[in-house]
């Protein structure tokens, strides 16, 4: 099984973090190891957004990983990094390496920034003759701040320049201490130095800008340098001299340490490289931007143009259903993909099976998923297929299987704290395919899904309001006022099917008797049950309506010369009667009337009038009970039983001949004739046997066969029924 590590990182779009990740992946690929990267699409102090982002980590199946690399310094929010650290401590038993200066609670690794800060300082001493210098470093409680200050002192010691404590300033790695330092220098509170060596680019940029505001120019009046080698330092005016540490090398070293913890094997990274001192205008050097950096910027600009020109947001917000949304999303993937990697990537959107629940657009009610993901996730495919896979797989294994090492980026799909699912972007054998446009793409997808959900909610609300007008509140069936509204669809469906229309009007009479005997609640339950029975029986697209207290309509269609409408009525009457018998309540008859196509109204405005006429006809019919309804068929069946006693009659066969259930058949047969069907079958066989004994010379074995018996059973049954054997009966009658 291919090994796989997990990487938890923030702000991958920043060049430093992207280079760290590339170093990790290059080293992992060299050892045949794949990676799952878990990253945030947005960091925010908003607690609801934090819930949506943090939810991503709940989908991690640690059993599919061999180790974890955690890069907390890439997260700008301390609460996020603290949450992830607690989550790992509580849920992960795998080897974990923390990329940072902290030594607890996990083994950690960091830059060799002491020697690199010394190299910057040495450049100022040797090439620019600086002697009076200040080092502006980070917070005093951070190890990295002391390391970078120590590198500054090392260079001074080499040059024989004494270090004064007031020239080592602990700052904040941010803009405020740099601005204060510029003010002190401009106001004469602090003597103007030859140079200020800043421990990061952010402070160097802020210092340059603040000095300029106070009338001091860089580098003419003061030299300023930074550390990190960020893009902001390169494009600043003046461009900042800085040290671009080998971010990739830190990534390689981090993987090597994790590899040792996982396997016990000590490895040296495949590539060893130092950082680069970037000499620029802020120290007075001539700037020389490498051609490849210019080309990279040009490529990035082209991707930016493509993203803006795509109108992605407009397209996603224009979708009115999920399938359309998914197709649009996949069609616009080019906005974040480098064309060189088109054949090396795979993207999938994985949604919870309840992503669209809580349809009412009222954010005060938390009737939606905020914690965790559904056990079965849905992979949204371009062709409209939604493939289900278990959450424990994290990604559909068949779809994203690869013979070569891969990296898969996971981001949460959510809107505020509303959890929709997650997305996965996989690159095969590519270490540097991630860019900022992907996170922008993910945010557009998140917002688009929420917009679609709200659209669905509004449509649901509008439909609900419509239903309150055209639906019966008790039963959920259409009411009589809805008939003109559904008439056009009903007529069109009948015409398209090529069938003949039919209407059935049904009326439950005597409801007042049920109310008097058992109360109004019993009546309401009976009506609800009957409406459910109607909908169950009407399984061919019929329209069911409630037209009054106990009045109902069925609008259906059937093939020409079919008697489907009769079968439908029979089934409904059977179920209704069985339900009443089971309850032991007052028995209420069900009256009905049927209208076929030639008597159907043509115009919607005539439909309601025709329905009322048919209902009146149903109420005017004489109430009939089940045995009366089926009496003609039952009588024909009984004659057939006595006429053909040799047939292998059974209750199931008889019920099937009448298209009713066996239990219902048994009950109405008994009520119609005062004897069970089984008794009639038994009696017909024995009467036929008596006839054969008297009027034929057939042997007893032949007679038994003609009556559907085996010989021994025939002998026992005949004697039990008549008190003599068949032979005695034949002899006695003949005598």
Average predicted confidence (pLDDT) for the chain: 85
- 419-454 pLDDT, tens digit per residue, is 999 999 999 998 888 888 888 889 999 999 999 988
Q: What does the pLDDT read at residue 308?
A: 55
Number of domains in the chain: 4
Three state DSSP letters for 517-575: HHCHHHHHHHHHHHHHHHHHHCCCCCEEEECCCCEEEEEEEECCCCCHHHHHHHHHHHH
Q: What would the two tokens of residue 73 be?
A: 């310094």
Query: What pLDDT does residue 626 have?
Result: 53
119 and 90: one domain? Answer: no
pLDDT the model gives residue 624:
56
Domain match, 576 and 679 both:
no
Say what percent of the chain tops pLDDT 90. 37
The continuous run of DSSP H or E covering 280 comes out as none
Among 564, 590, 624, the domain boundary falls at 624
Residues of the chain with pLDDT > 70: what percent?
91
Domain final residue, candidates 244, 270, 287:
244
Taking phi over 0 as left and psi of -120 to 50 as alpha, with beta for the rest, 476 belongs to left
Who wins on pLDDT, 157 or 432?
157
Owning domain of residue 150: 113-244
pLDDT in tens, 589-623: 888 888 887 666 667 778 888 888 899 998 887 66
Residue pLDDT, tens place only, 534-567: 998 887 889 999 998 899 999 998 888 777 888 8
**Same domain, residue pair 678 and 721:** yes
Q: Can you give the pTM of this predicted structure?
A: 0.59
Residue 467 domain-assigned (yes or no): no
Q: Are 357 and 389 within one domain?
A: yes
507 and 591 co-located in one domain:
yes
pLDDT at position 629 is 59
Q: Is the pLDDT of residue 283 over 90?
A: yes
Query: pLDDT of 3-53, one tens digit each?
Result: 999 999 998 888 888 889 999 999 999 999 999 999 988 887 788 888 889
CATH number of the domain bearing residue 649: 1.10.10.60
Residues 57 and 187 in one domain: no
Is the pLDDT confidence value at 204 over 60? yes
pLDDT the model gives residue 425 = 92
Claim to verify: residue 488 and residue 616 sit in the same structural domain: yes
| Burial of 473 (C-beta count, 10 Å sphere; 0-12/13-18/19+) | exposed
Q: Does residue 91 form part of some domain?
A: yes
pLDDT for res 294:
44
What pLDDT does residue 398 have?
Answer: 74
Asked if the model's pLDDT at residue 223 lies above 50, the reply is yes
Inside any domain, residue 271: no
Q: What is the pLDDT of residues 53-97, one digit of tens each?
A: 999 999 999 999 999 999 998 887 788 888 999 999 999 999 999
**d(Cα 217, Cα 210) in Å, to the nearest integer?**
10
CATH of the domain at 592: 3.30.70.270
- The CB-based long-range contact list for 45-51 (8 Å cut-off, 24+ gap) reads 45/77, 46/416, 48/416, 48/417, 49/416, 49/417, 50/79, 50/80, 51/370, 51/371, 51/416, 51/417
Q: Of 228, 244, 260, which one is at a domain's C-terminal end? A: 244
pLDDT band, very low/low/confident/very high, at 291 (cuts 50, 70, 90)? very low
Each residue of 90-136: pLDDT tens digit? 999 999 999 987 767 898 888 888 999 999 999 999 999 999 999 99
pLDDT digit string, tens, across residues 464-482 = 676 667 788 888 888 888 8
pLDDT tens track for 208-218: 999 999 999 99
The helix or strand, by DSSP H or E, that contains position 269, with its residue range, turns out to be none
The pLDDT assigned to 555 comes to: 92
pLDDT at 118: 95
3-class SS of residue 653: helix
Instruction: Answer yes or no: do 78 and 14 share one domain.
Output: yes
Q: Is residue 253 part of a domain?
A: no
């Amino acid at each position: 099984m291919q090994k796989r590590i997990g990487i938890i990182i923030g702000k991958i779009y920043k060049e430093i973090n992207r280079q760290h990740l590339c170093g990790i992946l290059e080293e992992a690929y060299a050892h045949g190891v794949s990676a799952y990267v878990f990253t945030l699409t947005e960091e925010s102090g908003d607690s609801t957004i934090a819930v949506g982002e943090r939810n991503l980590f709940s989908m991690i199946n640690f059993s599919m990983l061999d180790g974890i690399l955690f890069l907390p310094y890439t997260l700008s929010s301390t609460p996020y990094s603290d949450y992830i650290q607690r989550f790992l401590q509580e849920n992960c038993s795998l080897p974990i390496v923390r990329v940072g200066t902290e030594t607890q609670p996990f083994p950690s690794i960091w830059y060799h920034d002491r020697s690199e800060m010394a190299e910057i300082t040495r450049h100022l001493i040797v090439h620019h003759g600086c002697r009076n210098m200040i080092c502006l470093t980070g917070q005093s409680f951070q190890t990295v701040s002391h390391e970078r200050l120590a590198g500054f002192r090392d260079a001074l010691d080499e040059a024989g320049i004494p270090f004064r404590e007031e020239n080592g300033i602990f700052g904040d790695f941010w803009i405020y201490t740099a601005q204060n330092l510029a003010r002190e220098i401009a106001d004469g509170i602090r003597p103007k130095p030859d140079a200020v060596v800043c421990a990061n680019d952010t402070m160097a940029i802020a210092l340059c800008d603040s000095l300029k505001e106070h009338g001091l120019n860089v580098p003419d009046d003061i030299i300023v340098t930074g550390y990190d080698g960020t893009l902001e330092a390169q494009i600043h005016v003046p461009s900042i001299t800085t040290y671009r540490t080998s971010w990739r090398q830190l990534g390689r070293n981090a993987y090597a340490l994790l590899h040792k913890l996982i396997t016990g094997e000590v490895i040296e990274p495949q590539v060893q490289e130092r950082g680069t001192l970037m000499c620029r205008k802020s120290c007075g050097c001539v700037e020389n931007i490498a051609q490849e950096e210019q080309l990279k910027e040009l490529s990035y600009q082209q991707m930016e143009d493509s993203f803006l020109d795509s109108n992605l947001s407009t397209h996603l917000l224009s979708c009115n259903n999920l399938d359309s949304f998914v197709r649009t999303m996949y069609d616009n993937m080019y906005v974040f993909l480098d064309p060189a990697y088109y054949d090396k990537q795979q993207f999938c959107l994985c949604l919870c099976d309840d992503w669209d629940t809580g349809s009412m657009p009222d954010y005060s009610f938390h009737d939606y998923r905020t914690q965790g993901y559904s056990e079965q996730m849905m992979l949204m495919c371009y062709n409209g297929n939604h493939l289900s896979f278990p959450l424990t797989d994290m990604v559909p294994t068949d779809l994203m299987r690869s013979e070569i090492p891969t990296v898969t980026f996971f981001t949460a799909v959510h809107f505020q704290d509303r959890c929709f699912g997650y997305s996965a972007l996989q690159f095969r054998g590519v270490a540097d395919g991630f860019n900022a446009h992907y996170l922008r793409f993910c945010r557009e997808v998140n917002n688009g899904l929420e917009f679609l959900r709200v659209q669905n909610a509004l449509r649901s609300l509008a439909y609900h309001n419509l239903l309150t007008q055209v639906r019966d509140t008790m039963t959920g069936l259409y009411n009589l006022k809805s008939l003109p509204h559904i008439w056009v669809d009903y007529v069109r469906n009948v015409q398209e099917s090529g069938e003949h229309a039919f209407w059935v009007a049904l009326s439950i009479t005597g409801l007042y008797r049920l109310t008097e005997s058992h109360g109004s609640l019993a009546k309401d339950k009976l009506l609800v049950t009957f409406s459910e029975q109607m909908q169950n029986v009407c399984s061919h697209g019929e329209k069911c309506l409630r037209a009054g207290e106990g009045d109902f309509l069925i609008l259906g269609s059937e093939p020409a010369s079919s008697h489907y409408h009769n079968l439908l009525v029979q089934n409904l009457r059977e179920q209704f009667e069985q339900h009443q018998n089971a309850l032991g309540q007052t028995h209420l008859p069900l009256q009905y009337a049927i209208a076929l196509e030639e008597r159907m109204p043509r115009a919607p405005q005539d439909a309601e009038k025709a329905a009322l006429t048919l209902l009146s006809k149903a109420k005017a019919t004489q109430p009939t009970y089940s045995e009366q309804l089926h009496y003609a068929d039952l009588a024909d069946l009984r004659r057939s039983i006595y006429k053909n006693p040799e047939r292998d009659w059974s209750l199931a066969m008889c019920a099937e001949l009448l298209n009713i259930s066996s239990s219902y058949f048994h009950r109405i047969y008994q009520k119609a004739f005062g004897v069970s069907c089984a008794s009639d079958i038994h009696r017909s066989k024995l009467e036929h046997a008596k006839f054969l004994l008297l009027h034929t010379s057939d042997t007893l074995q032949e007679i038994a066969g003609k009556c559907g018996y085996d010989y021994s059973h025939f002998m026992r049954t005949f004697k039990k029924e008549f008190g003599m054997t068949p032979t005695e009966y034949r002899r006695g009658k003949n005598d």
